[in-house]
Amino acid sequence: MNLSAFIGMHTGHTMNMHTFLSAPDLDGTDITAIIPDDFRLQSGQKLEQTDVVARLYGPANAPVVVAAGGISAGRVLFAKEDATAAAPGWWEGVAGPNEALDLNVWRVLSIEFAPRLPASQIYTISTHDQARLVKLLLDQLGVERIYNFVGASYGAMIGLAFAELYPDAVERLCIISAAHRAHPMATAFRGLQRRLLMFGKATGRDAEGISLARQLAMTTYRSDAEFAERFDGPPPELAGENYTVCGYLRARGDAYAATDVNRWISMSDSLDRHRVDPAKIKAKVFLAAVPTDRLVPYDDMKLLHAQLADSVFIDFPSLYGHDAFLKEIPAVSDIVRMSLR
């Protein structure tokens, strides 16, 4: 189903909300849950951190929605008055008062992924491990069932893992740019990034390794069509000089030089070991697939749709490939809004 048709079919349908909601917390309050001493990752490793943290927004008596984004997203979903160009919330324009993920209406838990920064080692951590940590936070809040798990990219993978592990704990899923498995081509791209990171670390050239890995990553986040539109210029005068697109990639890579290598390798590997069984998911699932996504193939999301018991498939056309969930704010807002109705 295309996005405009989906919106038209759902216009006017709203969830039966509380008649009276308490005053919303728009600043957000950090929530901490203790990680039990016997908690182990599926790999057998023990996290160095002793607790997991998230930020809780919205009215205290509203239905709970969990929100999770890409591997760079933190718990600051919406930054209210202190938002700046340097440090806004990761989903400004989608989440906020009177936005699609309306913080006046929903009690929104925005999660912080493990491992915590700085990471002292590389962890073999799965999306199911992250889902178990989300469950600790919900247990801390006394929430037995959430209304929706809204996720994009890595966060959507965690949403699928959560719904597989705890099928009775979630009513709906909004899954943007994620499937039930990692695609081998995406694993190939990320595997090369990890080798660059480890090579930089082993040779004492961490910043250069990070920059090169980020440059490679940037070629996977966006579409061929966008690169053609932005960078189809003449070649440089001499061999060895930067082409326009290469200059862009170097700038983006160098801007990422302070990234924690151990955490990036851990999270990158987590993306690649992601596997869920769609047959175990009971929730109603809204799937939004971007045809130009180089990391999550459209056909993989179609296959996931076919294997789920109750799902809606939404065509989400975009020039921006995998980054559409960050760039296409109006379209993403429509998808999120409809999944909540």
CA separation for the pair 209, 214 (Å, rounded): 9
pLDDT tens track for 51-66:
999 999 999 999 999 9
pLDDT at residue number 81: 53
22 pLDDT above the threshold of 80: yes
Q: What is the percent of the chain with per-residue pLDDT over 70, rounded to a whole number?
A: 92
Residues taking part in catalysis = 153, 293, 322
State the pLDDT confidence band at 8, using cuts at 50, 70 and 90. Answer: low
**Nearest of 129, 119, 168, 108 to residue 44 by alpha carbon:** 129
Q: Are 38 and 87 in contact (CB under 8 A)?
A: no
19 pLDDT above the threshold of 90: no
pLDDT tens track for 192-201:
999 999 999 9
264 pLDDT above the threshold of 60: yes
Mean pLDDT of all residues in 329-333: 98
Summary mean pLDDT of the chain: 93
Q: Are 92 and 234 in contact (CB under 8 A)?
A: no
124 pLDDT above the threshold of 60: yes
Question: Beta partners for 146?
Answer: 170
For residue 146 the two structure tokens come to 């959430």
Side-chain half-sphere CA neighbours of 316 within 13 A = 36
85 pLDDT above the threshold of 70: no
pLDDT at residue number 5: 59
50 pLDDT above the threshold of 70: yes
Side-chain half-sphere CA neighbours of 251 within 13 A = 7
For residue 307 the two structure tokens come to 């294997």
pLDDT at residue number 11: 47
Quote the pTM value: 0.93
Amino acid at 333: S
80 pLDDT above the threshold of 80: no
pLDDT tens track for 129-186:
999 999 999 999 999 999 999 999 999 999 999 999 999 999 999 999 999 999 999 9
For residue 37 the two structure tokens come to 């001493």
17 pLDDT above the threshold of 60: no
State the pLDDT confidence band at 13, using cuts at 50, 70 and 90. Answer: very low
Domains along the chain? 3-182+274-340 (3.40.50.1820), 184-269 (1.10.1740.110)
Buried b (16+ CB within 10 A) or exposed e, 251-266: eebeebeebbbbbbbb
CA separation for the pair 231, 245 (Å, rounded): 5
Q: What is the percent of the chain with per-residue pLDDT over 90, rounded to a whole number?
A: 88
Q: Are 105 and 59 in contact (CB under 8 A)?
A: yes
